[in-house]
Amino acid sequence: MKNFKITTQEDFNDCLMWISDLYKDVYGFRPRTYNFEAFTFQELTDFVNDLFEESEREAELESAVVEKAIADVMALGADKETALRWLDQADAYFMYGDDSFYEDSIEKYGWVANHYDNLIQKH
């Protein structure tokens, strides 16, 4: 969301309902020391726009890291589908060990699931 702007008290109140979630998405924890209700419209607008910019930077970095991981595995001789499967297997091993209870998480949220649409288009 580019150029977020608060112009009314209703906008301000709406923002207070979700700003903690946005902050947590960006930094991994909820804000603890801010009194957002004491912010002016402009201060809260600037704060939210800064969070959006940081979120975009994080998303770009994450995307670059994901693409590099896939490319690195493909450089070992795997096609993309195999590379994604190997990355899932590595995640399952390092995150869960031999605990089969978590296999459904890998299937739902793993590398293959995140790139499923791209794999379907390939075939």
Longest CA–CA span in the chain (Å) reads: 58
Residue 91: pLDDT over 60 = yes
Residue 120: pLDDT over 70 = no
In this prediction, residue 108 has a pLDDT band, given cuts at 50, 70 and 90, of low
The residue-averaged pLDDT of 25-44 equals 95
Q: Which residues contact 20 (CB under 8 A, 6 or more apart)?
A: 30, 31
In this prediction, residue 112 has a pLDDT band, given cuts at 50, 70 and 90, of confident
The residue-averaged pLDDT of 7-14 equals 96
- How many other β-carbons are positioned within 10 Å of the β-carbon of residue 114? 14
Closest CA relative to residue 47, chosen from 62, 33, 36, 59: 36
